[in-house]
Chains A and B, each alone.
Chain A
Amino acid sequence: MSVRVPSALPILFRAVLAIASVYGCSKDVLNCETGLCPSGFACNPGSGQCEELATTVTSTSGLLGRLSAVRMADGQLGVAAFNSERKSLMWMRESQGDWQPSFLAGPAATAQEAPAGHTSAAVADGDGGVHLAWRRAGDSTLWYAVQGPNGWQREEVPVAVPGTVGAALAIGIWQGHPVLAWRALDIQNVRVARKMSEGWTLETLPQPTALPGDPTAAVDLGRSLALVVTPSGPAIAAYEANRGDLVLATRAADAWNVTRLAGLDPKTGADQGDLGMPVAAALGPAGDLVLAYRDRVHDRVLLARAKSGVFAQELVMDGQREDPVHKTTRSDLLGSVLSVVVLPTGLAVVAAQDASTMRVRVAAERPAGGFVSYDVPGTLQVWPTLVTQPDATAACLWLDLANAARPGSGRLQRWNVPRGGQ
């Protein structure tokens, strides 16, 4: 179904048309405009059509916290989430349009086990396996599980000292082996573990390159972090809290190279804002690294992409919002949760939490540059995450609190991001 709305009509006519379109008329005119599509539709600036919003509500409720979603080898989705009612880590696998839930950790999975899975991370390997890592909050331990032919095999990561595992956690597959990165509370830095056939290895990220003029500055790294594995090795983007900088750690050969990527002038060390809390990462089709991160000072989301070895930064969306009552503009708390994917076309899609309005916003990159932004339909949307679709589009998953059985916990929903950027 499509509704086409002219874009260059006089304001009065457009207003009339908008009203008409809301009530189901005028569905065959050209070129819609954002905000003028009927309820349940969103304007696709690329096609000029109002496209029906596709949302799917799972039957599982009681979810809370960040989602970890992966596209598995069979093309189906898998999502790890914390079930607040059972206080356990839940794994939901999409199957024939339905979702099959199971519990991996916490009292719902193992009797007498403490609540677990408040924070988790997931990744799919090329062999059809899914790897999960999660934190058990009560004793701050780190756990790992892999889904094989015989189901899930889980273990506590032995090299992660109990009591030191922070809430920031990421997982990837490097040379066929799972690699985990987490914030270590005892050293306020990021530790990296890799499971080899002979057991787990452990590393700590070196300090970032010294600040110009302040070479001994203390570092507080990893309150937010993201991990992807590039063709040359793992790359970890992390937030350095003392200076409000985005730090990038890349591994080449046997050494890590850790640099401050944004938030300061690289030559003078002058502060240039508070960037990187949180940060999300994705890989482009050519293995190029793409980072999406929040600018806390200006309430905006930025994207950095490596071009010829140099990161170029651009604006994805900002939190500015009109207040029609006071005729002012205010700024929303935008980007407290971020997710980014890169489509096979090389175009990025970013999902961001607006934590002032509890709405999810998605921005899709246009081939000609810049982003087109969508307000995902609905209310009380939290913890968005993006996945790529088999048809080379993106889907946004989030928790819907509006239709939750109890306050503060929600149901999983999905929206297929329009091909607006194309």
Chain B
Amino acid sequence: MTLHVRPHRSLAALTLLLAACTGQPQPLEKPLAPELALPGGLRVVLLDADLPAVADTVRLAVGKTLDVKVPDWPLPTAANGQYSGFTTAAPLDALALTWSTPQHLRLTATLGKMAGGFSLVQTGQAGCGLTWQVDGGSVQLEAEVVRQSDASLAVQLSGAPVATWEGASVSDASACLAKLPPADASSPGDAILAEVTQQLAKRLSAAFLPTVSRVFAASLEQSGRLATVGSVDPAVETRFALKYVEDAAHVALHSGASAQASLAVSVDADRHPCAVDVPLPVAVASPLAQRSPPSGQAFLRRALVIDQALVQRLAWLAARAGALCAQTHHNLTTNLAPGWAADLLPQVDEWIEGPPSSARFWPGSSPTTRLVDTPAGAAVEWTMDDGQLEIIAHVADTEMTVLTVTGGFRATLLPRLQGTHALAFDLVSVERLSTHQSSPLLGDLATPASEAALSTLCEAALQGIFANQAVLPLLALTPGPLPPGTVLTGVDRTGDALWLWLEGGQTP
């Protein structure tokens, strides 16, 4: 099943900032194809401090043995008879809890070797004793939170439990078989085994239900935050057609140390006429390396982890949606010498008035991105192999394109905390890759009069273009999903993942 979950505003903002401009993608007319999903593209990691109840539950339960006594149940094909006295001891080797939605939890209990005894009883006849044993197995149950008529919440099973046994067998049942009526199963022994399996699974499910309820009660708020961390801005969804796939979201517990919600993110956009037609890059999210939080964190710690593959797809998405076809009027005077025109266009600088008034960028390719480390920290490296930068200035009181720089561009964007509630991406460097210059007023320019002036101008122009959406208001725009007081405290990188660290907020 696919559920259209609205994306995180901050993630969409990241899309924008990676795109660095102001495109206006149109809503898609058809649903996103499943192959567009990138499993593991986005993860939300909660450390154990965030989930004490879950961690405690798992820690307390694992290693214990459950004494199981199954109530008698009737023979399925006989009017008068029943299975009776089933007991066993179930050693709980592991317990895994997985949310598919904030309200829907899957519990998987891994059990060790078990054995039990029971009997078949028919009315008016003596009982027939049997034994049952397995080498091990698992029981999986699904539970969900439902709202009662009195508005209270209740936890209930949402389907039949599924039990899987290894090496299951029953003792020689020949003495009892005569007592059984003909069955549909190929083997009467199998029929008995199936009956036992089903009833045991039901009983174990009932036994686990209180545990599930406790987990829900303690962690529903947190798990809800996991899955709803991105339910904010429908406008962004329609513009960028970015969605999460529900059935790929899950929380996995790692020995009580932390939990992570792994979300598959699908992206697609109708191609803007200004964007080159490049297919969605093939990408696979890397396994998430565990990472210790920065020292000195507060009680609640969590991280939003963005995989490099997702960063690449977001860049592709933004470019395809036309967001890279950008114009800026800002920051063009940064570091720009007053004599820039004389340095670059000495033939006509006499008529060029003041600094450039604006710059435009036209992509001739789709950008590639990768996470890199710089001396200043983790950064996103953005490369456009083919693009054109147009510098516009006033010539005799008239706006004109005075210089075009065509070729490849590489920019390095450095994430930076802006206060405690926003993330900014600073363009810290621009590199020209085999560019050539021309001027509509003068034609091709073999070599720029000043390489340094050209680099400064290109950097100023791209800074202006990236400045359009360079702030990621991670928390300020999401008052609901995260606990009040949560702040963004750090950004770093592990392998192919960009970690945005959050801390603070109320205790559960």
Chain A interface (Cβ within 8 Å of chain B)?
Answer: 64-66, 82, 84, 118-119, 167, 320, 323, 325-331, 333, 336-337, 353, 355-358, 380, 382-383, 401, 407-409
Question: Could you tell me if A167 and B397 are in contact, using CB atoms closer than 8 angstroms?
Answer: yes
Interfacial chain A residues near B325, Cβ < 8 Å: 330-331
Q: Which residues of B contact A326 (CB under 8 A)?
A: 276, 364, 386
Known A-B contacts A64-B351, A401-B441, A408-B441; the reply to A329 vs B400 at CB < 8 A is no
Given contacts A323-B362, A382-B398, 16 further A-B contacts (CB under 8 A): A84-B350, A325-B364, A328-B274, A328-B275, A330-B362, A331-B274, A331-B325, A333-B360, A336-B399, A336-B400, A353-B400, A358-B440, A358-B441, A380-B440, A382-B400, A407-B348
Q: A325-B364, A330-B325, A355-B401 are in contact. Are A118 and B396 (CB under 8 A)?
A: yes
**Shortest CB–CB separation between residue A43 and chain B, in angstroms?**
25
Chain B 202-240: CB-based contact to A (< 8 A → 1; otherwise 0): 000000000000000000000000000000000000000
Encode contact with A along B413-448: 1 for CB under 8 Å, 0 otherwise.
000000000000000000000000000111000000
Which residues of A are found within 8 Å of B364, using beta-carbon distances?
325-326, 328
Q: Which residues of B contact A84 (CB under 8 A)?
A: 350-351
Query: For B255, what are the chain A residues with a Cβ–Cβ distance below 8 Å?
Result: none
A382 to B400, CA, bound (A): 9
**Complex CA distance for A380 and B441, rounded to whole angstroms:** 7
Q: How many B residues face the partner with a CB closer than 8 A?
A: 26
A409 contacts which chain B residues (CB < 8 A)?
Answer: 351
Q: Which residues of A contact B348 (CB under 8 A)?
A: 407-408
Q: Name which of B276, B277, B396 has the most chain A CB atoms within 10 A of its CB.
A: B396
Q: Would you call B441 and A356 a contact (CB within 8 A)?
A: no
Chain B residues with CB below 8 A from A325, complex form: 364
Question: Do A408 and B273 form a contact, CB below 8 Å, given A66-B396, A333-B392?
Answer: no
Q: Give the interface of B toward A (CB within 8 A).
A: 273-277, 325, 347-348, 350-351, 360, 362, 364, 386, 390, 392, 395-401, 440-442
Known A356-B440, A408-B350: A383·B398 in contact at CB below 8 Å: yes
Chain A residue at minimal CB-CB distance from B358: A333
A64:B396 contact, CB within 8 angstroms? yes
Known contacts A118-B396, A383-B398; is A356 also within 8 Å of B390 by CB?
yes
Give complex CA distance A362, B276 in Å.
30
Q: A326-B364, A407-B347, A407-B348 are in contact. Are A333 and B400 (CB under 8 A)?
A: yes
Residue of A nearest to B348 (CB): A408
CA distance A353 to B441 in the complex (A): 13
Please name all residues of chain B whose beta carbon is closer than 8 Å to the beta carbon of A380 when the two chains form the complex.
440-441
Give the 5 A-B residue pairs with the shortest CB-CB distance, closest first. Answer: A65-B396, A329-B273, A408-B348, A407-B347, A336-B399
A355, B276: Cβ atoms closer than 8 Å = no
CA distance A409 to B398 in the complex (A): 14
CA–CA, A383 and B347, complex, Å: 19
State in angstroms the CA–CA spacing of A82 and B350 once bound together: 14
CA distance A336 to B396 in the complex (A): 12
CA distance A329 to B440 in the complex (A): 19
User: Which residues of B sit under 8 angstroms from A320, Cβ to Cβ?
Assistant: 273
- B401/A333 in contact, CB under 8 A: yes
Q: Are B347 and A408 in contact (CB under 8 A)?
A: yes
Q: Assess whether A355 is in contact with B347, with CB atoms less than 8 Å apart.
A: no
Q: How far is the CA of A34 from the CA of B360 in the complex (A)?
A: 29
- The complex places the Cα of A355 from the Cα of B357 at a distance, in Å, of 13
Known: A64-B351, A355-B392, A408-B350. A327 touches B400 (CB 8 A): no
Q: How far is the CB of A213 from chain B (nearest CB, A)?
A: 21
From A66, A118, A323, A408, residue with most partner B Cβ within 10 Å? A408
- A152 → chain B closest CB, angstroms: 23
Residues of A close to B274: CB separation below 8 A:
328-331
